Structure 1
Amino acid sequence: MSSLTLTDKVSKMIHQDILSGKLKPGQKLVVAELKERYNVGASPIREALVQLSWNKYVKLEPQKGCWVASISLSELKELFESLRTIGQVLLAKAITNGNENWELNVLTSFHKLNKINLQDAKIEELREWENRYTDFHNSLLEGAQSPIMYQFYQDISHQITRYRHLNNNPQVISETYAQYLEEHEIMMKLTLSRDSEQAIKYLNNHYSKASDLISTYFSA
């Protein structure tokens, strides 16, 4: 039996490759190939795949094999519906409960997001922008002081990341993200001014826009 530390490490590497799109939806995961890819033994690979199946990133079928979980338009819409439902509750709680440290974190995370020049950005820079985009959204909601609900939000957000990485065209991605910047600044200002109603309205509009943009992959 391999150590939990090694299994967790392998699970994290596979998970990241699924989120980034290096391992494609529906791709069969062969233990021998994963051993070579991650330079580890078969046991931690198998244990990591079981772990990932619990969170539905991987599909396991006894005697048949293992695949990266498939994707669908209906799942994407349900994920965004769930994100919208829990996100607006968390934002309302954050506006009520957030302290000065929370305010500073929101300002800092937006400043970092705004520092990346999206014009003519390469794919690596766009992926870094995505990381900062995630950090900004997390910073808005962390002030809710609701750790269980916040973890649920992050799990949903991670699932959506798989869909976001279906498009690898830098020009299309940069144009899309440029549209987000202004509304994120407005969202930040409304949140810090404690305008719960308008901040939630902008957050919900952003989720709707992001859902519509990602959905175009299925009609391409």
Structure 2
Amino acid sequence: MHSTLVRAQNVFGFFTTVAFIVGALVAVTGYFSLPSDGNSLDVSVDLKNVQVARGRPHYYSSKREEYAQIRFDLDADLSPLFTWNTKQVFLYIMASYPPSVSSASRDSKKKGSSPSPNPGPSNAIIYDKIITSRDEAHLELRNQRSKYQITDISGRIANRHNATLEVAWNVQPWVGALTWGTSSEGRSKAFAFPALKSTGAGGGGAATATKKKNVAGEQTMGSAAPAA
């Protein structure tokens, strides 16, 4: 006869073994039920507008950097990614652009190697969304403003060419490993970041304010003159 403790250990061991096997089967079958190729999904993104302006990274910083604000159109149907083992899908849009010479040299110095003749592109996420159900998996965004402004490690991003927008996603299952995916159709045409936005309007405003101040001063002097 086995003691109560030994029987409880046997039952617990059998339960954990069955749970592990069931979890493994769920993870494997859930992975193979996803689309094998991201190109089978209906995904497209188009650039609508991009502007580059100078600003500070935070309130107390005196350093000013160049930031790009992007607007885009997005059409995406991610419903095939939702299976019985899908908890949620994390959708994100990346802006890819060639790095500057200074940022590539800085990365090479950190690694202790010579600068690469063909450094990889820089990637920055401009928009993301968590989709929790199949009903929310169809997106139609028009002239959507990016959630995040982007900048470069060099602090300059204006006049960069061959930039693209790319749609990507991450499927998070109830049980199993995370899977990432992209689509060749979910890439925009190449574009260039424009020159820095002009700030000439501010100078005109200052000149107008100075003129108004001078006029007000002349009126005050005229009213203070003694009567004849």
Shorter-chain TM range is: under 0.3
Structure with greater proportional strand content: 2
Larger Rg: 2
TM-score in terms of structure 2 length: 0.21
TM-score in terms of structure 1 length: 0.21
Structure with greater proportional helix content: 1
